Amino acid sequence: MSVASIRRFGIRRFGIRRFAFAALAVLGACRAQSGSELVTGKSVSASAGTNGGANGMTGTFQGPGSEGAGGAESCAKSVLEGTLEATNILFVIDRSGSMNCNPPPLQSSSACELNPTPKDPAKPTRWQIVAAALKKAVAQMPATTLVGISYFNSDGNCGVSQTPSVPLGPLSAAQLNVLGASIDGVVPKGATPIVGAVTLGYKHLHEELKLPGNTFLVLLTDGAETCAKNLEEKLVIETVPLALSVGVRTFVIGAPGSDPARAFLSRIAWAGGTPIDPQCKHGSNPATEGDCHFDMTDPSLDFATELNAALEKISGTALSCELDLPSAGGEEIDYEKVNVTFATSMGNHLDFFQDTKACANANGWQYNADKSKIILCGVTCDLVKTDPTGTLTLEFGCATQVAL
């Protein structure tokens, strides 16, 4: 029998977690079926069964020829297991005076700058829309996600704080109540210190918390930097890339009023590893052009609708099926001999095939660009996320099963 390695780990809800491995045993279970045998083997629908549903999405995964451990012959393997860590999200939210205005088209950004009060007090302000969308987005995240909020400014002027207004914590009922109360208690006023708020957000996440897992900072602003314009370039070319290098990615939402800062915000999203399109504009000139971030400055768009959609997309990305690829017990990984399987809570064993199409169109797994992670795509990801007690397994040493 040939020797290879298996990594086994569990997924808890939507959380994406890093591994703390401990060697457990030497077991066996290497596949002997050919690709054609697997294609004609038992199939399990992703939409079948109580826990097999994928939010209405359908897809078929090739299963083993029997209900046993993959229906495969054995070969010796070392087994390492671990626990996944939660996803961490710090919202860094603009509460400057312009958030008191109604969004366009009711009140233009230029009119708001002249008089940052609502044109129609009976209609929602920018802040009220942001508050409702934030509470909705957070409430829909799994309880294992760590969420916190920082506001800028912190003093009615240009002040910023390294300590979040709501420290990061799992989304228990108590944490949701604290987040909601904090959001409801905000009174917009003062300036827009984007550079200081983002910089201290990174410092808190990396230096103070040193959180394991996937960590994100979500910047939402309705204006341009007004307190440290001379430090914008340093933020973009030094601070944001440095945060990315230590595992903190940055999403950016440009609310109505951020038109003059499109280039700046777009460059932050690009440098932060979250461009909404790989072909997006991320140059510094002109200052009003850039589309790597979520830009909501078009007055013909409904701000509330666009913001809810953006937060939903951010949540879906931050809480995606992205998994660190561990080393194979000190051995060099043969990337042509990696397989992914899933044991559902209902007792079904599914083989997830490698699918190298663009993830938005794929139903299987694939490597990221540098092969440091495995990403589950499409129905495969949805199936795993909707079955929190199922077990996802990486197997090393047998020829990769590839989608036809």
3-state percent helix, strand, coil for the chain, nearest multiple of 5: 30, 25, 50
Report how far residue 105's alpha carbon sits from residue 301's, in angstroms, rounded to the nearest whole number.
9
- What CATH number was assigned to the domain covering residues 88-318? 3.40.50.410
**Which amino acid does the sequence have at 346?**
M
Look at residue 86 in the predicted model and tell me its pLDDT: 61
Give which of 184, 207, 220, 375 is closest to 303, Cα–Cα.
220
387 and 323 in contact (C-beta within 8 Å)?
no
Report how far residue 205's alpha carbon sits from residue 88's, in angstroms, rounded to the nearest whole number.
9
Report how far residue 284's alpha carbon sits from residue 295's, in angstroms, rounded to the nearest whole number.
16
Return the domain boundaries, the chain. 4-84+323-396, 88-318
* pLDDT, one tens digit for every residue, the chain (404 residues): 332 333 333 333 233 332 222 222 222 233 333 222 222 223 333 332 322 333 322 233 444 333 333 434 444 353 333 234 468 999 999 999 999 999 999 999 999 989 999 999 999 999 999 999 999 999 988 888 899 999 999 999 999 999 999 999 999 999 999 999 999 999 999 999 999 999 999 999 998 888 877 899 999 999 999 999 999 999 999 999 999 999 899 999 999 999 999 999 999 999 999 999 989 999 999 999 999 999 999 999 999 999 999 999 998 788 767 777 776 556 788 899 888 888 888 989 899 999 999 887 899 999 988 888 888 888 888 888 777 677 888 888 888 999 98
